Structure 1
Amino acid sequence: MHLCQVAPYVTYPPQMGGDHRTHGLVKEFPAAGDTVVRYCQGGSPAMYKSLDLRRNVRIADGYDEYRHLHPLHEVVKSPMLLGYPNLLAGRALSLANDGLPGMLDDADVVLAREPWQTPYVLDAVDDSTPVVFSSHNVEMERFGDIDQPLFEDRVERRVAALERRSVEGSDLVVCTSERDARVYRETYDPGGPVIVVPNGTYESDIREHRPHSSAARGCRRSHGIPANATVCVFMGSNYEPNAEAAHAVVDIADRMRDTTPPVHFLILGGVGNALSGRDLPANVTVTGYVEDGFEAHLDAADVALNPMLSGGGTNIKLIDFFARSLPVVSTPFGARGIDAADGAELVVAGLDAFPDTIASLASDPERCRDIGRAARLLAAEEYTWEAGSRALHERIIEDFGPF
């Protein structure tokens, strides 16, 4: 099988949750003897920051990423900085699509990410070529929760129209959770089956927590964290629901600034930019994006926080915490779509109860270890990209093969 994957921007190496899903879904296809070529519509901030302006990237034998770096693709993404969806991606492809038509003609199957590009793909492919729509969120819900400064009603109508076209026109729809799949079935008339491939983590990242490693101790020292402090970690990209959660973490930290023994809060990733200009309590450290030492920061933590209140899909960060054997305190919304039991693989609490819940865990290291161990086992058994990729591969062969 030759699969063409269409993505809205550079994906490899993965930086954000959406990148990991885009890569993770096809990661195992080459191992099955198939080939994957990914067309990326424009670049990513991480790529430009690192000056990695390569057009063709070989990821593995039989797995390549082609980057169409064109000013138009970057311009049409600019409204996303104000919280708008990538509504103009499809129209930009109709004007600038270097190499994509040939890739679609050569493909046995096309896998399109999100509804922004999928309608273009549906119009461009031959009727005999199956199109798989890879949903990362129910976008009409996600952007219904986010206020845009202008044209809010028009934006919501356009999002709904693009999502309807993608769901109803595709031959197979892949969702992150059973809930998202149910919403699609109830809201639209899918053109093909709707299946679930959950978000996950990489098998190589599943490991025991290492709080006493020299790297973890060094991380604590570098941030001036007291040796007897309980360290809570939150991480995320600079995306509005993550920003909302980061502000909630700061509020929680403020309530716990005088706790004895102390509690310290690490906020990792680009979401830290959303806190710029806010006065932070002394027990909060904002690191920004961490590449070197990322694992050390997670090992330096005792508890992971997932105080999400909005957004779509399921939280990849939650599974990443599970994979590192960290006990997680999550809001009910943050735990949506994940088959984890409160009190077993995580602790579910409302935001108001986070300080008491953190204090309770801090006083019971054995409980923390038990929850972290159960979470790691759940991630290994149910939530790896490798297992999800193999399941998607089998389903495509079953529905559309042999190739």
Structure 2
Amino acid sequence: MSEVLFLAHRIPFPPDRGDKIRSCHVLRHIAGLAPVHVACFADDEGDMAHEPELIAVAASHCLVPRTRSLKLAGVEALASARPVSLTAFADKRIATYVAQILAERPISAIYVFSGQMAQYIPATFAGRVVMDFVDVDSAKFEAYAAAARFPASRLYAREARLLSRFESDIARRAHASLLVTPEEAALFRQRLTPGSEPRVMALGNGIDTDFFDPEGMPPAPEMAGEGPQLTFTGQMDYPPNVAAVEMFAREVMPQIRATFPQARFNVVGRAPTLAVRSLERVNGTRVTGAVIDVRPWLAGADLVVAPLTIARGVQNKVLEAMAMARPVLATPEAATGIPAREGHELVVASGSDALAKAALSLLHDKVRAATIGQSARAFVLEKCGWAGVLAPLAGLLGLSGPESPRVAA
């Protein structure tokens, strides 16, 4: 019987952030097709505590605490002319486990989640490689370089250049390279080394509509007696999220509170940076930090906002809010890859003034806001279930079934 090796830069449990949500559902789906062996990293002790969940789904596993600091990885990368992203995730224990599994088990395919883990694909492996880039990391670092000051801009530009070359090399090696949206797939294809013609396609993200169901879900108690409530959810040490909430708190909220003085902006998510924590009470902003369950903070929101200006791939935060039947106001960057109808299932605006105008319109017209929320949930129920989204994986891995993703680029 064919077996699969699954490589991921983070343990897929718990599925409480964008990359883990995707990797968790992909891993569970593959485990339903064939025995799967997993090699991945743990960021901290909290991640290590979820090893039993990994044991429950994997035929075997190697979970390695990632202890190398980003600063040390940067120094090593500069000395070796390698991308920092690869150096930070280089570990002999993972390499040894991969070699052992390939030698001892009938591995017919390797599924690689995130480009950092592609360094572990042996040149001699004769089976299929499915490379899930998710989004174009090199383009993200180019955006960082454009926004940063020297010397950070120079370091980001170096990372973008080296990663772009590595991405092209891996894409040529893979049976298929997956990106999360048709737009990301098209961008990836444009950036490939001239002369290479790898198989690049889109495989979207789904949403667990049974879990993200507004029925019977009360608002967070902290939201009582104030309002209207605007909510942002996300990993709050991720630079694009940090920039988004800073802009919204400082530039958009003053315009909203001029009409609704009691309006609150809830920034909900783990690991808030100092810059995020400093927003507490600024123009009605509340920073929650990590919460046990994000759903009450969505259920109590009059409006969920996703004001990102740098965004790669599908934003899970948008799909989760839509599944909870909340009206969502997003920038074009945050709405990319979600084929919802603007003004019907999702509202899109760009720039602080336009975002404020759109938010005020929805807050004034509660009937329209509720209609958009209900339409958003109907859209997610029809288009975004994980089972349908991941159905092509069997064919891509050579296990069975068709190979064409539902959303192909």
CA distance in 2, matches of 1:15, 1:65: 21
Identity level (%): 19
CA distance in 1, matches of 2:69, 2:38: 16
Offset, 1:378: 1.6
SS in 2 for 1:27: helix
Aligned to 2:242: 243
Q: Does 1:57 align with 2:60?
A: no
CA distance in 1, matches of 2:14, 2:201: 26
One-letter identity of the residue aligned with 2:95: N
Aligned to 1:143: 141
Provide closer, same or farther for how the CA distance between residues 103 and 374 of structure 1 changes in structure 2, counting only shifts above 3 A.
farther
Q: 2:204 aligns with which of 195, 198, 208?
A: 198
Contact 2:256 2:360 (C-alpha < 8 Å) held by counterparts: no
Q: Does 1:166 align with 2:170?
A: yes
SS in 2 for 1:387: helix
CA distance in 2, matches of 1:194, 1:102: 30
Offset, 1:271: 6.0
Provide closer, same or farther for how the CA distance between residues 160 and 217 of structure 1 changes in structure 2, counting only shifts above 3 A.
closer
CA distance in 2, matches of 1:387, 1:158: 35
Please tell me the root mean square deviation across aligned C-alpha atoms, in Å: 3.0
Contact 1:122 1:131 (C-alpha < 8 Å) held by counterparts: no
Q: How does 1:19-168 map onto structure 2 within 5 Å?
A: 19-32=20-33, 34-40=34-40, 42-45=41-44, 48-49=45-46, 52=49, 54=51, 57-60=54-57, 65-69=61-65, 71-72=67-68, 86-89=85-88, 92-93=90-91, 97-105=95-103, 106=105, 107-123=107-123, 125-126=124-125, 128-147=126-145, 148=152, 151-168=155-172
One-letter identity of the residue aligned with 1:323: A
Consecutive unaligned residues in structure 2, runs of 5 or more: 76-82, 146-151, 404-409
Provide closer, same or farther for how the CA distance between residues 329 and 184 of structure 1 changes in structure 2, counting only shifts above 3 A.
same
Provide closer, same or farther for how the CA distance between residues 95 and 67 of structure 1 changes in structure 2, counting only shifts above 3 A.
closer
Contact 1:56 1:66 (C-alpha < 8 Å) held by counterparts: no
CA distance in 2, matches of 1:24, 1:50: 17
What is the TM-score of this pair, normalised by structure 1?
0.84
Contact 2:266 2:288 (C-alpha < 8 Å) held by counterparts: yes
Q: How does 1:216-235 map onto structure 2 within 5 Å?
A: 216=219, 218-221=221-224, 225-226=225-226, 229-235=227-233
SS in 1 for 2:95: coil
Contact 1:234 1:304 (C-alpha < 8 Å) held by counterparts: yes
CA distance in 2, matches of 1:49, 1:300: 28
One-letter identity of the residue aligned with 1:99: Y
Offset, 1:282: 5.0
Provide closer, same or farther for how the CA distance between residues 190 and 28 of structure 1 changes in structure 2, counting only shifts above 3 A.
farther
CA distance in 2, matches of 1:287, 1:279: 9
One-letter identity of the residue aligned with 2:129: V
Offset, 1:316: 1.4
CA distance in 2, matches of 1:64, 1:389: 23
Provide closer, same or farther for how the CA distance between residues 104 and 179 of structure 1 changes in structure 2, counting only shifts above 3 A.
farther
Aligned to 2:213: 207
Contact 2:43 2:65 (C-alpha < 8 Å) held by counterparts: no
SS in 2 for 1:216: coil
Q: How does 1:299-378 map onto structure 2 within 5 Å?
A: 299-351=299-351, 352-378=353-379
Offset, 1:198: 0.8
CA distance in 1, matches of 2:59, 2:176: 22
CA distance in 2, matches of 1:259, 1:120: 56
Q: Deviations over 1:102-121 (max 9, x none)?
A: 23443221011222221331
Offset, 1:207: 2.1
Offset, 1:89: 4.4
One-letter identity of the residue aligned with 2:132: S
Aligned to 2:11: 10
One-letter identity of the residue aligned with 1:43: A
SS in 1 for 2:391: helix
One-letter identity of the residue aligned with 2:297: H
Q: Deviations over 1:158-214 (max 9, x none)?
A: 11122111212111111101112112333326664222111221132242366xx5x
Quick check: 134-143 or 113-122, which moved more?
113-122
Offset, 1:71: 4.1
SS in 2 for 1:109: strand
SS in 1 for 2:264: strand
What is the TM-score of this pair, normalised by structure 2?
0.83
One-letter identity of the residue aligned with 1:67: L
Q: 1:183 aligns with which of 187, 194, 198?
A: 187
SS in 1 for 2:257: coil
Contact 1:254 1:281 (C-alpha < 8 Å) held by counterparts: no
